[in-house]
């Protein structure tokens, strides 16, 4: 399995630190607003990476943080006149709803920066003891960038080039030894959340959060660290400087970065104001369509968002679901547990497409080619599964098809969702059964509905229902 490593700028064979295990950390969103579909790209892509490792039999420990202390969160809290935790907690809940809609598996751990402050203080203290950090008179703690010899190795930047870029922007009043130095801890300002520390009451810099959370939940050395390509510099470069200086080991073996989601040729971002939230999209489409759209391009290629491409994604996804439904119906009816000779041959062709899918995914997660293999398989299954198919063939073919769509996080069978009209009809039947004193039937209907997530409530005005 090959992974493109930003560190070496090459595809490298994946060798886990511990056999059969993958430890991965993906930088999560800053929670001050609903997530936009640019943020959704790393969520969907790295979830697919995780799913593929699971498919290959690896045990994956997946950690993704929420940055819940930050200038933008504080500003939003001040505007609403609430505590910043009200803002961050609200948008963490909303973000998790969106992730569920996009079929992103919950992380094994979702650390929050505000709950990891003691670990950050410890790491900063270690860096100070080793001479990698220093405190200014106002209590700001800086990282001594030039002391870390390998600084720039991820972003392939040269310190002197960086230095000349900084020469112009001299910030007055700062006691930095060098313009390249970055903040590990900063003093609080009036009305901001803060924590006690040996240097001043204040809060951590952004980069130290991820170094600490990754170390705590995955260990000092991890397999994969991921995020969008805007994080390469300075965020990930600084994480490396902090973590590797403190531990003396390499931090992450593979650094993976997704390219941007653009709109009209420009990066989609909150600051440019050209973003669409995942929630907006969910009003028009099943979020499976968004997921399909994201996976239709290679993750290292920029992807342009457009209404046309979303429509195309919707139609393509429909073909996958139609095939999934056909296989489901056939599985319910088919009989015979020995494949015919013709089916054996067809199954060999299905297996060959599974291999094609795996080859695409093994080649740095080429989801676009993997999807092409899924479509080829759907075509083959549509023409070879019919009334006369044996149960043996249908079961095996369906198992393969669903295993692959599941790697991509695409649900190939329609969710069994009851329509409002069906619910009302069942409630009317229950009311009639109760009138006829057929309580057994009435209870059965209530249980049936509950199983499908519909909760009934008997009130004086009649029966009310809601989706649980």
Specify the residue, 99 or 200, whose C-beta has the smaller distance to Zn ion. Answer: 99
Specify the residue, 186 or 267, whose C-beta has the smaller distance to ligand AMP. Answer: 267
372 exposure class (CB count in 10 Å sphere: 0-12, 13-18, 19+): middle
Alpha carbon 467 to chain centroid distance? 26
Residue 101's binding partner, choosing from Zn ion, ligand AMP, none, with beta-carbon cut-off 5 to 8 A by kind? none
- Residue 41 touching ligand AMP (CB under 6 A): yes
Query: To the nearest whole angstrom, how small is the minimum distance from the Cβ of residue 264 to Zn ion?
Result: 28
Q: Can you tell me whether residue 135 is helix, strand or coil?
A: strand
Rule CB under 5 A: which residues touch Zn ion? 27, 210
- Residue 261 touching ligand AMP (CB under 6 A): yes
Q: Which stretch binds ligand AMP (CB under 6 A): 134-142, 254-262, 290-298, 335-343?
A: 254-262
Nearest to 62 by CA among 48, 53, 50, 54: 50
- CB-CB neighbours of 462 under 10 Å: 9
Residue 261's binding partner, choosing from Zn ion, ligand AMP, none, with beta-carbon cut-off 5 to 8 A by kind? ligand AMP
Q: Which stretch binds ligand AMP (CB under 6 A): 171-179, 264-272, 323-331, 362-370?
A: 264-272
Q: Kindly write down the DSSP assignment for every residue of 391-422, as one continuous string.
A: HHHHHHHHHHHHHHHHHTT---S---PPPHHH
The only residue of 179, 227, 324, 409 in contact with ligand AMP, by rule CB under 6 A: 227
- CB-CB neighbours of 275 under 10 Å: 21
Q: How far apart are CA 262 and CA 426, in angstroms?
A: 47
Specify the residue, 134 or 251, whose C-beta has the smaller distance to ligand AMP. Answer: 251
- Residue 111 touching ligand AMP (CB under 6 A): no
Torsion of CA 269, 182, 202, 108, to 10 degrees: 60
Specify the residue, 238 or 288, whose C-beta has the smaller distance to Zn ion. Answer: 238
Nearest to 425 by CA among 402, 448, 398: 448
Map the footprint of ligand AMP across residues 127-186, applying CB under 6 A. Answer: none
Q: Can you tell me whether residue 24 is helix, strand or coil?
A: strand
Q: Which stretch binds ligand AMP (CB under 6 A): 24-32, 110-118, 338-346, 361-369?
A: 24-32
Query: To the nearest whole angstrom, how small is the minimum distance from the Cβ of residue 91 to Zn ion?
Result: 17
Helical H runs in 203-270?
206-218, 237-247
Q: How far apart are CA 453 and CA 36, in angstroms?
A: 29
The only residue of 1, 27, 74, 287 in contact with ligand AMP, by rule CB under 6 A: 27
The only residue of 269, 296, 340, 382 in contact with ligand AMP, by rule CB under 6 A: 269
Token reading at 152: 């720039």
Yes or no: say if 391 and 327 are a contact pair by the CB < 8 Å rule.
no
Q: Verify cis geometry, omega within 30 degrees of 0, for the bond prior to 234.
A: yes
Q: Can you tell me whether residue 4 is helix, strand or coil?
A: strand
Token reading at 153: 């190795």
Specify the residue, 228 or 234, whose C-beta has the smaller distance to ligand AMP. Answer: 228
- Residue 234 touching ligand AMP (CB under 6 A): no
Q: Which stretch binds ligand AMP (CB under 6 A): 23-31, 129-137, 215-223, 240-248?
A: 23-31
- CB-CB neighbours of 112 under 10 Å: 19
- Residue 30 touching ligand AMP (CB under 6 A): yes
Specify the residue, 210 or 381, whose C-beta has the smaller distance to Zn ion. Answer: 210
Torsion of CA 286, 289, 53, 367, to 10 degrees: 180
Site string for ligand AMP, 374-403 (x = CB under 6 A): ------------------------------
Under rule CB under 6 A, how many of the chain's residues touch ligand AMP? 17
Token reading at 403: 């295993």
Residue 202's binding partner, choosing from Zn ion, ligand AMP, none, with beta-carbon cut-off 5 to 8 A by kind? none
- CB-CB neighbours of 182 under 10 Å: 20
Q: Which stretch binds ligand AMP (CB under 6 A): 150-158, 225-233, 330-338, 442-450?
A: 225-233
Q: How far apart are CA 268 and CA 222, in angstroms?
A: 30
Q: Which residues bind ligand AMP (CB under 6 A)?
A: 27, 29-30, 38-39, 41-42, 227-228, 230-231, 258, 260-261, 267-269
């Amino acid at each position: 399995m090959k992974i493109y490593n930003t560190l070496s700028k090459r595809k490298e064979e994946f060798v886990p630190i511990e056999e059969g295990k993958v430890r991965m950390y993906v930088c999560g969103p800053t929670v001050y607003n609903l997530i936009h579909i640019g943020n959704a790209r790393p969520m969907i892509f790295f979830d697919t990476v995780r799913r593929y490792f699971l498919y290959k039999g690896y045990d994956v420990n997946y950690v993704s943080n929420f940055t819940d202390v930050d200038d933008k969160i504080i500003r939003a809290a001040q505007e609403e006149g609430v505590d910043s935790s009200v803002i961050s907690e609200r948008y963490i809940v909303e973000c998790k709803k969106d992730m569920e809609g996009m079929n992103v598996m919950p992380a094994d751990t979702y650390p929050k920066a505000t709950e990891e402050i003691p670990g950050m203080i410890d790491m900063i203290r270690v860096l100070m003891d080793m001479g990698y950090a220093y405190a200014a008179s106002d209590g700001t703690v800086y990282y001594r960038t030039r002391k870390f010899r390998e600084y720039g190795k991820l972003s392939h930047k040269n310190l002197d080039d960086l230095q000349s870029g900084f020469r112009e922007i001299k910030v007055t009043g700062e006691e930095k030894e060098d313009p390249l130095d970055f903040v590990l801890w900063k003093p609080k300002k009036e009305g901001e959340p803060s924590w006690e520390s040996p240097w001043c009451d204040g809060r951590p810099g952004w980069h130290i959060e991820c170094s600490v959370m990754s170390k705590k939940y995955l260990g000092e050395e991890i397999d994969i660290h991921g995020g969008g390509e805007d994080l390469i510099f300075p965020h990930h470069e600084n994480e490396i400087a902090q973590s590797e200086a403190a531990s003396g080991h390499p931090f992450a073996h593979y650094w993976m970065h997704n390219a941007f989601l653009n709109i009209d040729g420009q990066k989609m971002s909150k600051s440019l104001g050209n973003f669409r939230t995942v929630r907006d999209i969910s009003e028009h489409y099943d979020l499976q369509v968004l997921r399909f759209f994201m996976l239709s391009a290679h993750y290292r290629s920029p992807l342009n968002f457009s209404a046309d491409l979303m429509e195309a994604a919707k139609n393509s996804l429909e073909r996958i679901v139609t095939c999934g439904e056909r296989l489901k119906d056939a599985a319910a009816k088919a009989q015979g547990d020995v494949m015919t000779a013709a089916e054996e041959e067809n199954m060999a062709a299905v297996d060959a497409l599974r291999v094609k899918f795996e080859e695409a995914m093994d080649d740095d997660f080429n989801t676009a080619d993997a999807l092409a293999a899924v479509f080829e398989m759907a075509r083959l299954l549509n023409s070879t599964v019919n009334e006369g198919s044996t149960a043996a063939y249908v079961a095996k073919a369906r198992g393969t098809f669903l295993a692959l769509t599941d790697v991509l996080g695409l649900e190939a069978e329609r969710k069994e969702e009851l329509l409002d009209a069906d619910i009302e009809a069942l409630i009317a039947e229950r009311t009639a059964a109760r009138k006829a004193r057929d309580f057994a039937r009435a209870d059965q209907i209530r249980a049936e509905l509950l199983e499908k997530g519909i909760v009934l409530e008997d009130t004086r005005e009649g029966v009310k229902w809601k989706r649980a």
